[in-house]
Structure 1
Amino acid sequence: MNNLPPVIITEDLTKVYDEGAIPVKAVNQVNLQIDQGEFTALVGPSGSGKTTLLNMIGGLDRPSSGKVWVDGKNLGAMKKNQLIDFRLHNIGFVFQAYNLIPVLTARENIEFVMLLQKASKKERNHRVLELLREVGLQDKMNNRPDELSGGQQQRVAVARALASKPKFVLADEPTANLDSKTAANLLDIMSKLNQEEGITFIFSTHDQRVIDRAHRVITLVDGAIESDELIANASDHIESV
């Protein structure tokens, strides 16, 4: 995509879970390079290793063996506090289970990461209101998660991931609980940020709506890469599907 070095590199990345007598390789020696500004979908059947790979790229899960570099940093060489700080300032996460803080309102959940980053009150207010408008939840800003539908909670989770303007957004099934209109709107927002601000997006997904927007589709089977397809012209691809 460009002449710059890849911003994400995995080298023989492997994750083994000891479940009973037989160890399970959730991710099996994955070698991958992601360039800055990619809009990439990880696809494959349930249990193929998509979420585990995404979590290791984001530093949420440690590999059993192999290495992960993100923005030139070897995540495996970082101490816990260093890794937390790196994630805070560089990576936005969208979790399939939302992971919203139950006692905080929608507005406060979106704002939370910016508070940790010590952003000014003015900056926080502007950014949060902007994102609430974009995800169509201005009227729900003071509602807590238990007062929101699953789709509304997911929209809050997406807005929270984008609030800090991260270099990377890692999204695990971000549209799974959304109707077609809302899913399209959120994908439009993320695509715009990708194109205008160069944010790198990696999705773990079963959703054809996400796959149709991706510029690159990586298929995992049994924890290994089965295929890696670069879509030459994403808009042509969308029209042809």
Structure 2
Amino acid sequence: MTIQTQQLCKIYNQDTDYPVHAVHQLDLTIAQGEFVAVMGPSGSGKTTLLNMLGGIDTPSSGTVDIDGCNICDLDEKALIAFRRDHIGFIFQDYSLLPVLTALENVEFVMQLQGHSEQECRQRATELLTQVGLADQLHKVPSKLSGGQQQRVAVARALAPRPRFVMADEPTANLDAKSTAELLDIMLHLNEQEGTTFIFSTHDPRVIKRARRVIVFEDGQLKQDKLQQENAQEDVA
């Protein structure tokens, strides 16, 4: 699956004297299997872009086409189903359900998809083991460290086998060791599952590991470069 935007715009305060062009006339293509970092200063439009690509936010104009489907044309019910089945989200504040255990948090979206209890339990256990939390399955988020909660969030995002994962500043609250470990896990899962990762980030550690870096400034694309050799050297 490929994400393609055409003349994508998001304008806040559109009907006032002071409109804010968060994203301006963006043409962008991201293919399945990419590991992309979107960087830029605060207020540059990074998070707004991810939210529109993931169907959380509605563009002011333009299109977001995912594998031939313009998600901007979907009604609310169809869009919710599309996000559930094709797009995973990793939020800076983790956004785990506090009353559920790590295992239950990861199982939740699969349950919404209608998978059996056995399928949910097996997939969630495998993913949490992959992210190094095999001994933390039955702990609620408040009993986990920040790094552990972010690993649960990664496992939850991958559980329904999405084609794309949108990660908004996923390392912002993590120390260097946790960041390196988390990036290793996501790169491994990217290669193993073929899932596309799109990061909004300020973190030079994420930018260094990305295979493609998109630079955003004032809602506009300023630079788009591949750095495959660097990423391969870092992972080796």
2:55 alignment partner in structure 1: 59
User: Quick one: which amino acid aligns to residue 47 of structure 2?
Assistant: T
User: Quick one: which amino acid aligns to residue 181 of structure 1?
Assistant: K
Structure 2 spans left out of the alignment, 5+ residues: none
1:3 alignment partner in structure 2: none
User: Quick one: which amino acid aligns to residue 145 of structure 2?
Assistant: S
1:193 alignment partner in structure 2: 189
1:16 alignment partner in structure 2: 11
Q: 1:41 aligns with which of 37, 51, 63?
A: 37
> Would the aligned equivalents of 2:58 and 2:72 in 1 still touch at CA under 8 Å?
yes
SS of 2:118's partner is: helix
Q: Does 1:228 align with 2:224?
A: yes
For residues 45-87 of structure 1, the C-alpha deviation after alignment (integer angstroms, 9 at most, x for no partner) is 1111000000000000000111111122101110111111111
Alignment of 1:148-163 (within 5 A): 148-163=144-159
2:140 alignment partner in structure 1: 144
Alpha-carbon separation, structure 2, partners of 1:225 and 1:235: 22
Aligned CA distance change for structure 1 residues 21 and 178 (closer, same or farther; 3 Å): same
2:111 alignment partner in structure 1: 115
Alpha-carbon separation, structure 2, partners of 1:236 and 1:190: 14
Alpha-carbon separation, structure 2, partners of 1:193 and 1:135: 10
After superposition, the CA RMSD in angstroms is 1.8
Following superposition, the deviation at residue 149 of structure 1 comes to 2.8
Q: 1:25 aligns with which of 18, 21, 24?
A: 21
1:180 alignment partner in structure 2: 176
Q: Does 1:88 align with 2:84?
A: yes
> Would the aligned equivalents of 1:213 and 1:238 in 2 still touch at CA under 8 Å?
yes
SS of 2:213's partner is: strand
> Would the aligned equivalents of 2:211 and 2:231 in 1 still touch at CA under 8 Å?
no
- Give the structure-2-normalised TM-score: 0.92
Length, aligned pairs only = 234
Identify the range of structure 1 (94-103 vs 52-61) with the bigger mean alpha-carbon deviation.
94-103
> Sequence identity of aligned pairs in percent?
58
Following superposition, the deviation at residue 128 of structure 1 comes to 1.3
Identify the range of structure 1 (172-181 vs 229-238) with the bigger mean alpha-carbon deviation.
229-238
Aligned CA distance change for structure 1 residues 237 and 28 (closer, same or farther; 3 Å): farther
Q: Does 1:102 align with 2:98?
A: yes
SS of 1:122's partner is: helix
2:46 alignment partner in structure 1: 50
Structure 1 spans left out of the alignment, 5+ residues: 1-5
Alpha-carbon separation, structure 2, partners of 1:85 and 1:215: 30
SS of 1:185's partner is: helix
Alpha-carbon separation, structure 2, partners of 1:165 and 1:182: 24
Alpha-carbon separation, structure 1, partners of 2:232 and 2:93: 33
> Would the aligned equivalents of 1:154 and 1:177 in 2 still touch at CA under 8 Å?
no
Q: Does 1:75 align with 2:71?
A: yes
Following superposition, the deviation at residue 183 of structure 1 comes to 2.0
- Give the structure-1-normalised TM-score: 0.90
> Would the aligned equivalents of 2:210 and 2:231 in 1 still touch at CA under 8 Å?
no
Aligned CA distance change for structure 1 residues 142 and 232 (closer, same or farther; 3 Å): closer
SS of 1:119's partner is: coil
Q: 1:132 aligns with which of 128, 140, 148?
A: 128
Alpha-carbon separation, structure 1, partners of 2:229 and 2:193: 19
Following superposition, the deviation at residue 13 of structure 1 comes to 0.8
Alpha-carbon separation, structure 2, partners of 1:136 and 1:35: 29
User: Quick one: which amino acid aligns to residue 66 of structure 1?
Assistant: G
Alpha-carbon separation, structure 2, partners of 1:151 and 1:213: 18
1:217 alignment partner in structure 2: 213
Alpha-carbon separation, structure 1, partners of 2:191 and 2:149: 26
SS of 1:124's partner is: helix
